[in-house]
């Protein structure tokens, strides 16, 4: 595994005994947006870098640590070939696995090459001169290509109007969600604006988003299309007025790809997947506002959604829908941002448990009594394992059989959850995962929570049980990090680490994942 070396940390000066102390924190850094296409047969054999957007007001949080290493990987390298930033993505491989599970019998990337388009945020303020891509398959690392950053052509910046819908936090300190529309003509733009407001309002009243509303911003970017609707929007399972089994001219190329591939191959495929073929245009448009995640509302009455690169969902009146589309948006957001699996199960759906990409946090095999359940910190002693699929256990976390579409031999944590049914709240296990993902977008503390004065380092956080902190000096524990640290009797130079961890009722499993460190270097 390649080692990560972060770029130079933010440095501020403070007075400590007449000498300058340096406070170091891995604050969010300005980022560029790189447009990439994965191509080739099988798992991909090459990468094409199309262009780079260098003048967008975008940020990447250097603290981000998803806890797993995904197969599609990229490294920023300095002039000496040293890695200054390492990242990985699940989507380019997972979408292949998802489509392969549909038993199409052909590589859909050959039929629809744009399924391999993606956008990557890379930090700008580094010494990087080159980016390298690779694919890790078990212990084998496949080189997919290297590109000099200076030679990548500039992308056209977004020219679409953006408006903040809610939130007041600074973008570099917040989780920013941008709502876009596809298949809305100029005349239908007011409809999109109304639907975007419904989505933002639904998030605002849904946990855990409600509890973090002061750290989450919602933006709307107004994009119009030449034609209304989505491509290949007819269906074998519902009547869709005005549908066509053909292409429509929309800004982001929204399409029901399995309907299209099924007609080409003479197969009756599961056709509710709703995808944007013009992924580059999605993220180029999203960059009109600060963004960490994009939601695409598609102006079609055909039931469909997808949570992969972005959150994508239909907004029309489908006869198959049992809940409003804004509730479904949050479910799909659970996939795309929360990395959560579907918790429903039916025999007609393929099993969506993938072999290459890492396991979902809300999906597990059955654990015998003498083996720890994956989410054991949430399971109480009175809950039988496996847990009966009955409303009698609706308030319990246990092991309920059936998950991931058609995975009848795998288990989920809750009887019903937002990842099972659109209208329900997230269960404790899914909520925990979302909260951990939030803290990869914003920080619990920053350098403003410390005051360095002469021979004292004083924390400015209340000791109210919501934060745990510890001082470390040159690698050794030095006491309660919520009390002032005196350094007069310590030999110079000193390296003081302030290790802080939020104490949350919503996080029981591996709470150390939330830890953040601010370093004070005293000469």
Please answer whether residues 200 and 162 qualify as being in contact, where contact means their C-beta atoms are separated by less than 8 angstroms: no
| 228 part of a folded domain | yes
Helix (H) or strand (E) run with residue 453 in it: strand 450-453
Q: In this structure, are 202 and 315 located in the same domain?
A: yes
Residues 145 and 251 in one domain: no
In this structure, are residues 491 and 474 in contact, taking their beta carbons and an 8 Å threshold? no
**Cα atoms in the 13 Å half-sphere on the side-chain side of 87:** 19
In this structure, the answer to whether residues 298 and 200 fall within a common structural domain is yes
State how many domains the chain has.
Answer: 3
Please identify, among 298, 321, 344, the residue that sits at the C-terminal boundary of a domain: 321
pLDDT value of residue 410: 87
Q: Please state, for a pLDDT cut of 90, what percent of the chain lies above it.
A: 58
Q: What would the two tokens of residue 182 be? A: 């596809």
**Residues 311 and 97: beta-carbon distance below 8 Å:** no
What is the spatial distance between Cα 442 and Cα 287, in angstroms, rounded to a whole number? 19
> How many CB atoms within 10 Å of residue 457?
25
- Please check whether residues 311 and 170 belong to one and the same domain: yes
| Amino acid 268: pLDDT | 77
Residue 59 lies in a domain: yes
Tally helices (H) and strands (E) across the chain: 7, 26
| Per-residue pLDDT tens digits for 48-58 | 999 999 988 88
Say which CATH number the domain at 110 has. 2.60.40
From the list 248, 280, 244, 277, the residue with the least C-alpha distance to 259 is 244
Q: Is residue 386 part of a domain?
A: no
The residues that bridge with 145 in the sheet, in sequence order, are: 133
- 173-182, 228-237, 366-375, 429-438, range with the lowest pLDDT: 366-375
Q: What confidence category does residue 448 fall into, taking pLDDT thresholds of 50, 70 and 90?
A: confident
Burial label for 405, CB within 10 Å (0-12, 13-18, 19+), is buried
Residue-wise pLDDT tens digits, 180-206: 999 999 999 999 999 999 999 999 999
> Which two tokens mark 112?
């629809």
Q: Which of 321, 344, 378 lies at the terminal end of a domain, its last residue?
A: 321
Do the domain assignments include residue 284?
A: yes
Q: Distance between alpha carbon 498 and the CA centroid of its chain, in Å? A: 27
Q: Do 108 and 196 have their domain in common?
A: no
Per-residue pLDDT of 140-166, as tens digits, reads 888 999 999 999 999 999 999 999 999
In a domain, 429, yes or no: no
Is the domain of 208 the same as that of 284?
yes
For 70, the token pair is 């995904």
The answer to the question of residue 209 being in a domain is yes
CATH number where 294 lies: 3.40.390.10
Query: Which of 151, 171, 198 marks a domain boundary?
Result: 151
First to last CA, the chain: 34
The predicted structure's pLDDT at residue 482: 95
Whether 345 is covered by a domain: the verdict is: no
Query: Are 237 and 294 within one domain?
Result: yes
Q: Who contacts 50 (Cβ-Cβ below 8 Å, separation ≥6)? A: 35, 36, 37, 153, 155, 280
CA 474 to chain centre: 35
Residues 202 and 287 occupy one common structural domain: yes
The pTM assigned to this predicted structure is 0.92
Q: Are residues 172 and 102 in the same domain?
A: no
Closest by CA position to 309, among listed 36, 108, 509, 2 = 36
100/96 Cα distance (integer angstroms)? 6
169 and 298: one domain?
yes
Angle at 490 between CA 489 and CA 493, to 5 degrees: 140
Mean pLDDT of 254-270: 84
Full residue range of the structural domain in which residue 484 is found: 10-26+445-522
pLDDT at residue 15 in the model: 37
Q: Tens digits of per-residue pLDDT, 64-80?
A: 555 678 888 999 999 99
- Helix pair angle (325-336, 189-204), 10° resolution: 70
Q: Is residue 465 part of a domain?
A: yes
Starting at the edge strand that comes first in sequence, how are the strands of the sheet with 83-89 ordered?
Answer: 83-89, 72-77, 130-137, 140-148
Is the peptide bond prior to 208 cis by the omega test (within 30 degrees of 0)? Answer: yes
Q: Residues 456-501: pLDDT tens digits?
A: 899 999 899 999 999 999 889 999 999 999 888 888 888 899 999 9
Q: 165: cis peptide before it, omega within 30°?
A: no
Query: Does residue 13 have a pLDDT over 60?
Result: no
Q: Mean per-residue pLDDT for 99-108?
A: 71
Q: Are residues 192 and 127 in the same domain?
A: no
Which of 15-19, 150-154, 443-447 reaches the highest mean pLDDT? 150-154
Least confident segment among 11-20, 155-164, 221-230, 404-413 = 11-20
Looking at the fold, whether 77 and 216 belong to one and the same domain comes out as no
Cβ distance 439 to 510 under 8 Å? Answer: no
The CA distance from 165 to 213, in Å, is: 12
């Amino acid at each position: 595994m390649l080692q990560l070396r972060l770029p130079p940390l933010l440095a501020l000066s403070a007075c400590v005994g007449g000498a300058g102390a340096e406070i170091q924190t891995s604050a969010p850094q300005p980022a560029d947006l790189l447009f990439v296409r994965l191509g080739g047969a099988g798992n991909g054999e090459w990468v094409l870098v199309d262009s780079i957007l260098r003048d967008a007001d975008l940020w990447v949080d250097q603290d981000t640590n998803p806890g797993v290493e995904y197969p599609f990987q990229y490294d920023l390298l300095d002039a000496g070939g040293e890695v200054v930033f390492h990242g990985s993505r699940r989507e380019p491989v997972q979408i292949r696995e998802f489509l392969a599970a549909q038993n199409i019998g052909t590589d859909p990337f050959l039929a629809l090459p744009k399924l391999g388009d993606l956008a990557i945020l890379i930090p700008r303020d580094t010494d990087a001169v080159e980016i390298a891509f690779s694919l890790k398959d078990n212990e084998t690392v496949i080189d997919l290509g290297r590109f000099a950053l200076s030679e990548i052509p500039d992308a056209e910046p977004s020219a679409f109007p953006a408006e903040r819908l809610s939130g007041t936090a600074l973008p570099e300190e917040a989780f920013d969600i941008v709502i876009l529309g596809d298949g809305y003509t100029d005349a239908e733009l007011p409809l999109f604006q109304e639907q975007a407001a419904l989505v933002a309002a639904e998030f605002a009243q849904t946990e855990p988003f409600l509890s973090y509303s002061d750290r989450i911003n919602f933006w709307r970017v107004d994009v119009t299309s030449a034609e209304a609707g989505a491509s290949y929007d007819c269906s074998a399972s519902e009547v869709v007025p005005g549908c066509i089994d053909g292409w429509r001219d929309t800004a982001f190329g929204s399409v029901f790809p399995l309907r299209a591939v099924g007609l080409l191959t003479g197969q009756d495929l599961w056709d509710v997947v709703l995808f944007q073929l013009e992924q580059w245009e999605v993220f180029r448009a999203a960059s009109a506002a600060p963004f960490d995640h994009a939601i695409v509302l598609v102006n079609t009455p055909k039931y469909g959604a997808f949570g992969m690169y972005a959150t994508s969902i239909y907004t029309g009146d489908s006869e198959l829908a049992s809940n409003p589309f804004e509730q479904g948006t949050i479910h799909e957001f659970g996939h795309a941002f929360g990395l959560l699996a579907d918790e429903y199960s039916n025999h007609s759906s393929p099993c969506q448990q993938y072999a290459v990409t890492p396991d979902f946090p809300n999906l597990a095999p059955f654990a015998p009594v003498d083996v720890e359940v994956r989410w054991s910190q949430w399971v109480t002693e009175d809950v039988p394992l496996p847990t009966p699929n009955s409303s009698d256990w609706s308030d319990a976390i246990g092991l309920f059989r059936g998950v991931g579409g058609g995975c009848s031999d795998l288990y989920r944590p809750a009887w019903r959850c937002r990842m099972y049914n659109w209208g329900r709240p997230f269960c404790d296990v899914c909520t925990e995962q979302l909260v951990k993902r939030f803290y990869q977008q914003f920080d619990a503390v920053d350098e403003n929570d410390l005051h360095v004065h002469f021979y004292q380092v004083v924390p400015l956080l209340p000791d109210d049980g919501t934060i745990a902190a510890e001082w470390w000096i040159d690698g050794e524990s030095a006491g309660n990090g919520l009390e002032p640290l005196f350094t007069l009797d310590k030999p110079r130079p000193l390296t003081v680490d302030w290790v802080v961890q939020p104490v949350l009722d919503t996080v029981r499993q591996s709470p150390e994942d939330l830890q953040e460190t601010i370093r004070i270097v005293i000469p």
